[in-house]
Structure 1
Amino acid sequence: MLDKMVFRSDDLAAADRFDHRSELSGRTHAPMELCSDHADDFRAAQGVLDLGAVTVRSARFQPLVFRRTPKLIRQSDPEVYHLSLVVRGGGAGVWRHRETQYVPDDLFINSSPLPNDVHSTGDPVQTVALEVPKALLPLPRDMAGRVVGATVSARDGMGALLAGFLTHLIADPTAYRPADRPRLAAIVTDLVAALFAHILEAGDRLPPENHRRALTLRIQAFIREHLHDPHLTPATIAAAHHISTSYLHRLFQDEDATVAAWIRRLRLEAARRDLADPALRTIPIHAIAARWGFPRAADFSRAHRAAYGTTPKDHRHQALHHRENSVQELPASGKRCLDATHS
């Protein structure tokens, strides 16, 4: 099962709680200054679910001001997006380009490289937060600014899909195994990409190049969602998005692969993860290949050898042998996971 690290301020003396929380916030990979009117007897609790590159957190705390200054950004910037579902309480985010108010069932979007003040209200404040590396969601700087601080409802549409998944995930992490981490992280990343695409497409005044990038993000999320379909082709993708196949290929000219190559790479990566999963060791290789859109085992074997220089059988044997002969340590959440949650 997955572990959820839990922090409770009640484990500390009342006089030490806020100073301890502030010190932890200042030492994280994205340090922040904290201010609170409840510093004399600060109360907070936080659960952290580490999915590798992606982190999900649940938090309950008394009202705070989180401040990320240019000096702190120069000190350390992990280049991540922060998304938080406001479950209870509210607040406001203040950036140079925007100020946005938040209420329960809103999604709050922030970015670590941007100076900001986040004010929370309510006692207690409750959030479910998500941290995703910007490298997994590449957006031009001007488009990132349009996403950060955007008003997003978690009551319907793409916001509800993401919020529902996060709430379910953090509520019962024991339902998942450590080997599920990369799969869960991929699902979360896809949902965030789809949400960003929705936000960007909603802007009536976006220039054409921004609409194209938003459409590309939506198409990439669609591809990940339908990788299991052996009939997923450039033609079916184009038809699903009401564009021509030639326009689809033009959209991918700025990517690192053609549409077909992008699909094949994602399928191979997914199949390799399953082949290396001890829990799936009894599943035949041809069944795993079919699960990820390779109905013919010979085609899968050739594609795997061409991409990685080894056969699927050899990869499975080496991966499982390595697991059996090494002591596996789970990625440590560590103190960095106690950074302040953007509410």
Structure 2
Amino acid sequence: MLPETVLRTDDVAPDIRFDVWREAMAATMSPMHISSPHSSDFWGHTRLLTLDDVLLWPVAMQASRYRRTAELVRKGDPELYHITLVLPGSGRLKVDHSGRRHLSTVNDLYILNSSQPCDVEVEENELAVAIGVEIPRNNFPPTAERAIGRMLGHRISGQDGFGAVLSPFLSHLVSRNSAHRPSDIPRLKRILLDLVTGLAARELDAEPSLCTETRRRNTFLLMRSYIQRNYHDPGLTPRTVAAAHFISPRQLHRLFEAEGITAAAYIRGRRLAEARRRLADPAQYTTSVQTIAQRCGYTSAAHFSRSFSAAYGMAPREYRELEHRQQLDTELRSLAPPATAGRDPIPA
């Protein structure tokens, strides 16, 4: 589990909730003038997760405004890049930074630099639901900083290109914290930095300026994300993946080989994992095995059955029945009355 701290304004007396929130946000991002039409009884909830010197903080909060002025920058600068991913359930965010203004909506990303003034406002009567990320700028080489610098204040889609890889990665980190160990932190941080660098470079066609290893990792992450989104297409093959990204099958093979797997094996594993999840899903118990196979990209039920049996040691129907029985047993145990002690209770 990644180190985590939780802040809920509900845990604080109403008359000091907004003051506590302002102090926490200033410590999390950088000193700002923070205001809200709900300051008399503010509501906000955030978790602070750390990846070495990188901070992630999923947040839900009432309408408020965050202004970092030139005067505050002069007084002190933590030299951070701040990234926001706007999540479902959020209102629009008005962003003014680096001479650019835009409205960020659900699935958008934007990047701020703590060394420059900014003004971000959640529209009145709306909630902000988002993931914030604070990354010290010294984590990036000068070429990456130049690329990121040119993206400041832009509205970036979280559903295309590297945005479509970075967004689910951030969501996974904050929603599956318990799945990670402290020993995972260096690798998770490295992936995050590569994705941010790749996002800026790809948006600005600056990718040739990145080092070879970063370009390789970024390209592999794009391929992997593409496969994860298109596993259900029976026409998905290593050749079509390569063609969709304008590289040769040989190049694709080398990218996956560097990660210790083949592209064909990764596609097969993604399909089988999804089929296994669907077979174990009680809501899909009446859906035929053949239909599930088709929804996972298989055109032949026999081929699916052979592949599934080879991967998991039993046929799809056998696996489904085993999971179904285990789920029923768990439900029955939860309904059973608690066992009584072996002797009479002490009388009152």
Change (3 A) 1:94 1:218: farther
**Do structure 1's residue 191 and structure 2's residue 195 form an aligned pair?**
yes
Unaligned 5+ residue runs, structure 1?
202-212, 228-239, 243-343
Q: Distance in 1 between matches of 2:191 and 2:21?
A: 31
**Do structure 1's residue 90 and structure 2's residue 115 form an aligned pair?**
no
Query: Counterpart in 2 of 1:119?
Result: 121
Change (3 A) 1:216 1:167: same
Change (3 A) 1:28 1:4: closer
**1:11-61 deviation line (CA, Å, top 9, x unaligned):** 011111011222334455621110100101100000111001221110000
The answer as to whether partners of 1:57 and 1:130 remain within 8 angstroms in 2 is yes
Change (3 A) 1:154 1:226: closer
Stretch moving more, 130-139 or 67-76: 130-139
Change (3 A) 1:133 1:26: closer
Cα RMSD (Å) of the superposition?
Answer: 2.5
The answer as to whether partners of 2:98 and 2:152 remain within 8 angstroms in 1 is no
Amino acid across the alignment from 1:187: I
Change (3 A) 1:167 1:25: closer
Query: Counterpart in 1 of 2:38?
Result: 38
**1:196-232 deviation line (CA, Å, top 9, x unaligned):** 101212xxxxxxxxxxx542227442234589xxxxx
**Do structure 1's residue 166 and structure 2's residue 173 form an aligned pair?**
no
The answer as to whether partners of 1:89 and 1:123 remain within 8 angstroms in 2 is yes
Amino acid across the alignment from 2:100: R
1:139 Cα deviation from its structure 2 partner: 4.5
**1:114-134 deviation line (CA, Å, top 9, x unaligned):** 101111125321001212222
Query: Counterpart in 2 of 1:230?
Result: none
Specify which structure has the bigger relative contact order, considering alpha-carbon pairs within 8 angstroms and separated by 6 or more residues.
1
Q: Aligned to 1:101, what secondary structure does the other structure show?
A: strand
Q: Pick the structure with greater CA Rg.
A: 2
Change (3 A) 1:144 1:24: same
Q: Aligned to 2:2, what secondary structure does the other structure show?
A: coil
**Do structure 1's residue 129 and structure 2's residue 122 form an aligned pair?**
no
Stretch moving more, 49-58 or 22-31: 22-31
Q: Aligned to 2:126, what secondary structure does the other structure show?
A: strand
Q: Aligned pair count?
A: 220
Change (3 A) 1:32 1:48: same
**1:268-297 deviation line (CA, Å, top 9, x unaligned):** xxxxxxxxxxxxxxxxxxxxxxxxxxxxxx
Give TM-score scaled by structure 1 length.
0.59
Q: Aligned to 2:77, what secondary structure does the other structure show?
A: coil
Q: Aligned to 2:120, what secondary structure does the other structure show?
A: strand
Query: Counterpart in 1 of 2:160?
Result: 156
1:190 Cα deviation from its structure 2 partner: 0.5
1:14-29 counterparts in 2 under 5 A?
A: 14-27=14-27
